Amino acid sequence: MKPDSVHITQIIHETTLKEKDSHYTVCWIKNEVKWIEINHVRYKNVSNSIYFLDPKTQWKIKKKDGSTSCGYTLYLDNQVLNYPLLSNLHINQVRIFNAGEIPLFKLSPGIEKRTQAILEMIDELLGSHLNHKDDAIFSLLNTFFVHCDGQCNIKSVASNIDSKTNVVYNFKTLVDKHVVEYHEVAEYADLLNISPKYLNECVKDVLNVGSKSIIIEQLLMRSRHALKFSSKTIKEISFELGFTSPDYFSYFFKTHTGITPSTLRNG
Q: How confident is the model at residue 1 (pLDDT cuts 50, 70, 90)?
A: confident
Instruction: Summarize pLDDT for 42-52 with one digit per residue, the tens.
Output: 777 777 788 88
The CATH homologous superfamily for domain 163-266 is Homeodomain-like (1.10.10.60)
CATH placement of domain 6-157? 2.60.120.280
What pLDDT does residue 104 have?
Answer: 61
CA distance 227 to 204: 30
Least confident of 73-87, 91-105, 144-158: 91-105
- Say yes or no to pLDDT of 190 above 90: yes
Angle at 157 between CA 156 and CA 160, to 5 degrees: 105
Q: Provide DSSP, 45-95.
A: --TTEEEEE-TT--EEEEEPTT----EEEEEE-HHHHTSHHHHTSHHHHTT
For the chain, give every domain's residue range.
Answer: 6-157, 163-266
Measure the CA dihedral 196/200/202/203, to 10°: 130
- Res. 31: pLDDT tops 80: no
Question: What are the CA-CA distances from residue 193 to residues 197, 206, 244 (Å)?
Answer: 12, 19, 26
Q: How far is the C-alpha of 86 from the C-alpha of 135, rounded, in Å?
A: 12
Q: What is the mean pLDDT of residues 245-261?
A: 95
pLDDT at 170: 85
State yes or no: pLDDT of 85 exceeds 70.
Answer: yes
Least confident of 75-79, 86-90, 184-188, 256-260: 86-90
The alpha-helical segments, DSSP class H, found in the chain are 78-81, 84-87, 90-93, 111-126, 133-149, 163-178, 185-192, 196-207, 211-229, 234-240, 246-257, 261-266
- State if pTM tops 0.85: no
pLDDT, tens digit, for every residue of 241-250?
999 999 999 9
Residue 105: pLDDT band with limits 50, 70, 90: low
The 8-class DSSP code of residue 5 comes to S
